[in-house]
Chain A
Amino acid sequence: QQQVKQSPQSLIVQKGGISIINCAYENTAFDYFPWYQQFPGKGPALLIAIRPDVSEKKEGRFTISFNKSAKQFSLHIMDSQPGDSATYFCAASPGRYGGATNKLIFGTGTLLAVQP
């Protein structure tokens, strides 16, 4: 009910390739879906976020695709660079339906390595 399932656990991509990370959720009350990026030894930082009223959001090389009926969303990194090597977490929040707590449920993370 509250879980967010993320795959793959790890991903190796060649420089210039496309990295794709997938997440699935069960709770239809989730209203806000952010992706966080974490470099080794650092805290996570917001990368991009989407609400279920749109099917896609793009910011630079990063795109979220959202499929409300399938309860799935994914992160696409175009033209992947070695500097993109990091751990990526998807998350979900009840947002406006969550009693104004902004609590996030995180996926288990994907370790991305972009080879030069």
Chain B
Amino acid sequence: NAGVTQTPKFRVLKTGQSMTLLCAQDMNHEYMYWYRQDPGMGLRLIHYSVGEGTTAKGEVPDGYNVSRLKKQNFLLGLESAAPSQTSVYFCASSPGGLGPQETQYFGPGTRLLVL
């Protein structure tokens, strides 16, 4: 099991460029999440999905879009990158439900630098 994988590991963008971050999980999890991590601010939820074909906004959704066309994949898009989107992006998945099913499993992260 690879768990949660993220592509790419690192990317440099110029202001206004677009890109898509890919998250894949092989644990058959129902729920998936995208977070951004910034110094001194912890992890903040961008968007999440509770099943294939569903998406919902999190705490900081502006400037991002997501899609979950397949259960195992969760895509995060930046349509027009801004320097404020320089961050480390983490994807996570969880089985869904309560108890141990609430555990979120994180990917290794994508470092994004917007110039």
Contacts and interface: CB of A to CB of B under 8 A. Distances in A.
Interface of A: 2, 6, 9, 32, 34, 36, 41-46, 49, 89, 93, 95-96, 100-109
Given A101-B50, A102-B31, A102-B94, A44 B102 contact: no
B106 interface: yes
A62 B90 CA distance: 25
B113 interface: no
B109 A102 contact: no
B4 interface: yes
Contacts of A32: 98, 102
Interface in B95-110: 96-98, 101-109
B58 interface: yes
Interface residues of B, number: 30
Contacts of A104: 43, 45, 104
Contact of B42 (A42, A43, A108): A108
B43 A102 contact: no
B96 A43 contact: no
Given A44-B90, A89-B43, A34 B103 contact: yes
Contacts of B44: 106
21 contacts: A2-B59, A32-B98, A43-B90, A43-B106, A43-B107, A89-B43, A95-B98, A95-B102, A96-B98, A101-B48, A102-B31, A102-B94, A102-B96, A103-B45, A103-B58, A104-B45, A106-B35, A106-B42, A106-B43, A108-B40, A108-B42
